[in-house]
Amino acid sequence: MRICVGLILGLLATFSHALEVGERLAPWTLLDQYDQPYSLDDGLQVLLVARSMDGGKLVKAALEGQPKGYLEARKTVFVADISRMPSMISSLFAVPAMRDYSYRVLLDRESRVVSRYPGSESAVLWLKLDRGTLTEQKEFSDAAALRAALESLAP
């Protein structure tokens, strides 16, 4: 019985934290793959969120061949949740490999930012913002569709 009550309360807590259109995103700061900080600001137009390696691979495929600064020119940032990755693997292999990417990856090492935003495990969440307020939310599970959406943003 306690387990059922715990599960129900957990589900209610999850649904109560769902992000709604018109809601202002709470501020946060994360480090990127170069240990450089980035703080959420009102100039950001699109926040891309990946909860898993599948989501990260999707973003990588969508950005393949794009020049350095492509996301920044579109006022877009990419946050990757790497909290489930063993720290030794992330520090020795994954993060150094990300330094070869032509785009910035904000690393959520403790899932304190990504957990604020609802979405499926294998897709990439797209949060469109206007001065820090959510105006649109969608998910991408196809790299070509994500690439087309990014290309539609005026640089």
Residue 8 burial (10 A CB sphere; 0-12, 13-18, 19+): exposed
Number of other residues whose CB lies within 10 A of the CB of residue 133: 13
Q: What is the pTM of this model?
A: 0.87
pLDDT tens string 131-147: 999 999 999 999 999 99
Considering the chain, what percentage of its residues have pLDDT values greater than 70?
88
Residue recorded with tokens 């990946």: 50
155 pLDDT tier (thresholds 50, 70, 90): confident
37 - beta bridge partners? 31
pLDDT at 14 (0 to 100) = 42
pLDDT tens string 11-25: 444 444 568 999 999
SS3 content of the chain, % helix, strand, coil (to 5): 35, 25, 40
Is the pLDDT at 121 greater than 90? The verdict is: yes
Distance CA 43, CA 59 (A): 21
pLDDT at 90 (0 to 100) = 87
pLDDT at 19 (0 to 100) = 85
pLDDT tens string 1-50: 454 434 444 444 444 456 899 999 999 999 999 999 999 999 999 999 99
